[in-house]
């Protein structure tokens, strides 16, 4: 019996070694070093951005584990075995980091740092009154999963009025919650900042499009810390130029990374970070994956199971 591992990330080999320490009785093989017999004996696969032929010969898998919270890299894989359970990381320390990132973006807009940044470029000392209190600022969060709930609580604790939206009804203390297609217009109404924390699924691909942006109040600020493909880039640029959006903080883009001379690089109202809002925390990720494999070995139900239809 073996575990097959692959990661396209530079830290992949250290992740494998740490997993081996957590699971000393289960051999963990780098996919590139396996032969046909080893692949046939594999019960578990752990992967991040695996190549197209990764699942070839892995005919006896009992579970597949993602090395990160996002699973679109596996759901989009052409050879993902449809009958094998797929598990994602549920948080692994990323939620607190993303909450910090979002709080920074919300403060950036609420305290008018975008305005002062533009005045600095003009060498203008403008301290005219632009005071807006947190309690008078409404932040809307698209996506109320494990990470979205942590972000919402952080914003509530900082006195913001928080609205949340997801496909299905949920209860999150302290926020104004909206669900489903019918709840989206009420959620979008009168926001100061819109935050995207959705998983990327066929239903959420391009969800922040021209139609959605037109429902926002003029001057809304956008934060995307999810996936670049949630946003229609052409519609985003149009909304920035028209003033529908006052600005955007983008940790992800479409395409990613942006090519040279892309208009988002130089747009004065856009802040871009290189997909660093919620870096995977190695030790916690390793702990979660190892604990899940131990559950599987004991015959217990896995945590973080992905609904293939919903995409998370």
List the catalytic residues: 227, 275
Q: How far apart are CA 134 and CA 89, in angstroms?
A: 32
Q: How far apart are CA 72 and CA 49, in angstroms?
A: 9
Q: How far apart are CA 200 and CA 226, in angstroms?
A: 8
Name, in order, each residue with C-beta under 8 angstroms of 116's C-beta and a sequence gap of 6 or more. Answer: 126
Q: How far apart are CA 206 and CA 212, in angstroms?
A: 10
Is residue 78 within 8 Å of 37, Cβ to Cβ?
no
Read off the tokens for 10.
Answer: 């530079």
Is residue 226 within 8 Å of 256, Cβ to Cβ?
no
Is residue 84 within 8 Å of 43, Cβ to Cβ?
no
Name, in order, each residue with C-beta under 8 angstroms of 106's C-beta and a sequence gap of 6 or more. Answer: 137, 139, 155, 160, 193, 195, 221, 223
Is residue 295 within 8 Å of 63, Cβ to Cβ?
no
């Amino acid at each position: 019996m073996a575990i097959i591992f692959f990661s396209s990330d530079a830290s992949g080999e250290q992740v494998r070694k740490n997993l081996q320490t957590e699971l000393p009785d289960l051999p963990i093989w780098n996919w590139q070093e396996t032969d046909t017999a080893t692949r046939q004996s594999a019960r578990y696969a752990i992967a991040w951005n695996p190549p197209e032929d990764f699942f070839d010969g892995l005919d006896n898998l009992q579970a597949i584990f993602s090395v990160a919270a996002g699973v679109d890299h596996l759901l989009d894989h052409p050879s993902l075995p449809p009958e094998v359970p797929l598990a994602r990381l549920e948080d692994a320390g990323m939620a607190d980091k993303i909450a910090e990132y979002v709080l920074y973006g919300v403060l950036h807009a609420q305290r008018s740092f975008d305005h002062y940044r533009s005045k600095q470029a003009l060498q203008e000392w403008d301290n005219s009154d632009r005071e807006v209190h947190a309690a008078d600022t409404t932040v809307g969060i698209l996506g109320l999963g494990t990470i979205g709930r942590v972000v919402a609580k952080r914003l509530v604790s900082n006195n913001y009025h928080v609205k949340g939206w997801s496909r299905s009804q949920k209860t999150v203390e302290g926020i104004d919650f909206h669900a489903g297609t019918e709840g989206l217009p009420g959620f979008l109404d009168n926001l100061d900042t819109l935050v995207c924390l959705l998983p990327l699924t066929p239903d959420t691909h391009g969800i922040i499009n021209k139609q959605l942006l037109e429902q926002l109040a003029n001057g809304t600020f956008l934060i995307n810390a999810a996936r670049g493909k949630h946003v229609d880039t052409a519609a985003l640029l149009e909304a920035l130029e028209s003033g529908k959006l006052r600005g955007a903080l983008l940790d992800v883009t479409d395409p990613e990374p942006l090519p040279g001379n892309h208009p988002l690089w130089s747009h004065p109202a856009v802040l871009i970070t290189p997909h660093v809002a919620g870096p995977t925390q190695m030790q916690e990720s390793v702990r979660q994956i190892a604990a899940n494999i131990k559950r599987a070995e004991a015959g217990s139900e896995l945590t973080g199971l992905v609904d293939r239809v919903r995409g998370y």
